[in-house]
Amino acid sequence: MNGTAPNLERSIVDTNKVENVKKIFSQDIIGAEILVAPADCKVIWMDEKLLVNDFPFLSNLDYFGLQKWVIKNCGWISQAQSVNNAVNKRVKLKGEEKIGYRPLRYGRAAIVEVDENVTEPTFIDIKGIGVAPDKIPELNYDSSGVLNINGGIVELIFERVLSKVFNLTSSNIDCVRTYAIIDLGFDCLSVDGSLLPSVCLARQAHERENGNMDIFPSNHERTDLSMKVEFFLRQFGITSSCRISQLELERDNGNLIIKHGFNNLGTIDYNTFSSNLGIELKNGVTLIDVPNIQLGKLTSSRTTKNVLYDFGQYKYNDTFLNPILFMVTDKSLNWGTYILPSSDQFITRNPRVSLNGT
């Protein structure tokens, strides 16, 4: 599946439309690109009620009509993903094209406008749509461009579980909801070497922080809200910290090897680290949980709540044993609030409200 960068055609893009999309999604930078339609798309899961609620003009369609509408509006991939590459083989295409919009640091997602005669622009966010035009798919977690079926189902499960938790507790937080999961008709290679169907999630369009930033200064409201959300979810045995967001610090006497997820960030002097941050580590490896709470707002007037998006990193734990670190932009090594399990501030699972993990 080895591939090279595709020679993509330049397309005429309505610059006025791009500027309007920037305003709607509160982004300074948004790229417009040509998306292409895989020939063998099929809907494998769909929330009919949510679709009709968000798009009332669909109320006259039956189940099969809704499926066709979903494929027409959401069954797309990027041109860069459609060619032979390290993750998937060349994709059989219908020969149809559509303009997609990709904000800065948007990864494997893009925004498309719904093809309907409505009074105002209406958009859907699609995750698993492929890499941007200037990227080549790579067999890594964050640069493959695709979403396999296992990942799509995990995202859906945690979205629904978290939304239920927030609603039952009358929280001012909700989740970006998924309209449908679409099998794109081709398989993708996973990091473990397995081939799985490639899917995309059609989900509610939402506004993110400008530039799609996910860590902020210490005194930023998003930093405080992220801490509150993580602590709230931990009572139920849920965390947004997973292996790819964890810090692994390995002290070897005077040296400290730092890894973030599976990326080796290098080696620094341990004494300098310890004196600057006031942290003492034993020789050996220390794993630190780093929450990955991603917050935004829906682009419609359906709710004024903050909403979580992206749920692949969430997991259930019976217990929490690692220190927890909330990263910030205005501190050395992005080292924000650091809480040890022995601290009174450390929140762990509450058996009275916790999920059972099944």
Residue 253 lies in a domain: yes
The whole-model pTM stands at 0.91
- Do 257 and 143 fall within a single domain? no
pLDDT of residue 8: 43
Q: List, as one string, the DSSP characters of 51-82.
A: HHHH-GGGTT--HHHHHHHHHHHH--EEHHHH
Residue 134 to residue 247: CA distance in whole angstroms: 30
- Do 88 and 235 fall within a single domain? no
Residue 232 lies in a domain: yes
- Do 153 and 181 fall within a single domain? yes
Angle at 182 between CA 5 and CA 139, to 5 degrees: 35
Residue 226 lies in a domain: yes
- Do 189 and 249 fall within a single domain? no
Which secondary-structure segment (H or E) carries 200?
strand 195-204
pLDDT of residue 302: 62
Residue 315 to residue 323: CA distance in whole angstroms: 17
How far is the first Cα of the chain from the last one, in angstroms, to the nearest whole number?
A: 37
Residue 228 lies in a domain: yes
- Do 148 and 238 fall within a single domain? no
Residue 65 lies in a domain: yes
Residue 132 to residue 84: CA distance in whole angstroms: 15
- Do 229 and 194 fall within a single domain? no
Residue 7 lies in a domain: no
- Do 225 and 208 fall within a single domain? no
pLDDT of residue 169: 85
Residue 71 lies in a domain: yes
Total number of domains in the chain: 2
Question: Which long-range contacts link 221-226 to residues 24+ away (Cβ below 8 Å)?
Answer: 222/295, 223/326, 223/328, 223/336, 225/293, 225/295, 225/306, 226/291, 226/293, 226/295, 226/326
Strand arrangement, sheet containing 263-269: 263-269, 255-260, 247-252, 284-288
Q: Which residues contact 77 (CB under 8 A, 6 or more apart)?
A: 35, 36, 37, 38, 91, 129, 130, 184, 200
Please list, residue by residue across 245-264, b when 16 or more beta carbons sit within 10 angstroms of its beta carbon and e when fewer do: bbbbbebeeeebbbbbbeee
- Do 270 and 163 fall within a single domain? no
pLDDT of residue 281: 92
Under-70 pLDDT residues of the chain: 1-12, 117-121, 300-303, 356-358
Residue 344 lies in a domain: no
> φ and ψ at 172, to 5 degrees?
-90, 25
- Do 226 and 198 fall within a single domain? no
Q: Which residues pair with 103 in a beta bridge?
A: 30
For the chain, the maximum distance between any two Cα atoms, rounded to a whole number of angstroms, is 69
pLDDT of residue 39: 97
Write out the residue range of the structural domain in which residue 239 sits. Answer: 221-293+317-339
pLDDT of residue 350: 86
- Do 139 and 156 fall within a single domain? yes
Q: Which two tokens stand for residue 170?
A: 């009358």
- Do 197 and 58 fall within a single domain? yes
Q: Which two tokens stand for residue 158?
A: 């945690």
- Do 137 and 238 fall within a single domain? no
pLDDT of residue 46: 98
